[in-house]
Amino acid sequence: MISVTIDGVIQEAQAGERLIDVINRSASKGPQVCYHPQLGPIQTCDTCMVMIDGQLFSACATVVSDGLIVDTKCTAAGAAQKEAFDRLLGTSRFFRASPPSHRWRSSHSTAASTRCRRILSARRTLDQTAL
């Protein structure tokens, strides 16, 4: 077992474990849109950005090491997360007003609606969090 500090709280982790999994177990919950433990890091959304040693990293793609100090609530990480959500909401085909065809709408509307609600909810949570 190794020790990782997340937002000032020491967490135990397994060597080689992904940082996002340690964050998900801790009291510090962070946003994530594209990560699923069974799929591994897809690294397409950038909503899980955290600060490590003064630099921004994707938590889903970072493997923990002993003594790692992570800040999920700093201004820079929060701004990067919000920017990622804004980019997703502004460019994703799931959020455009007019889908390309009726067939697309009928086959994907439920999944798109669920995804949209999830992303909007996470973005609102970031807005309400005091940085």
Q: What is the CATH number of the domain that holds 66?
A: 3.10.20.740
Domain range holding 50?
2-128
pLDDT at 116: 64
What is the spatial distance between Cα 76 and Cα 54, in angstroms, rounded to a whole number? Answer: 9
Is residue 120 within 8 Å of 127, Cβ to Cβ? no
Can you list the alpha helix ranges (DSSP code H) found in 16-101? Answer: 19-25, 75-91
Q: Is 43 left (phi over 0), alpha (psi -120 to 50) or beta?
A: left
pLDDT at 49: 93
The domain total for the chain is 1
pLDDT at 131: 47
Encode the chain (131 residues) as per-residue pLDDT tens digits: 999 999 999 999 999 999 999 999 988 777 888 887 787 778 888 899 999 999 999 999 999 999 999 999 899 999 999 888 888 887 655 555 544 544 444 444 455 566 666 777 777 777 666 44
Can you list the alpha helix ranges (DSSP code H) found in the chain? Answer: 19-25, 75-91, 102-128
Distances (CA, A) of 66 to 8, 13, 60, 100, 101: 15, 9, 17, 49, 51
Q: Is the dihedral of CA 104, 105, 110, 115 positive or negative?
A: positive
pLDDT at 44: 81
Residue type, 21: D
pLDDT at 46: 87
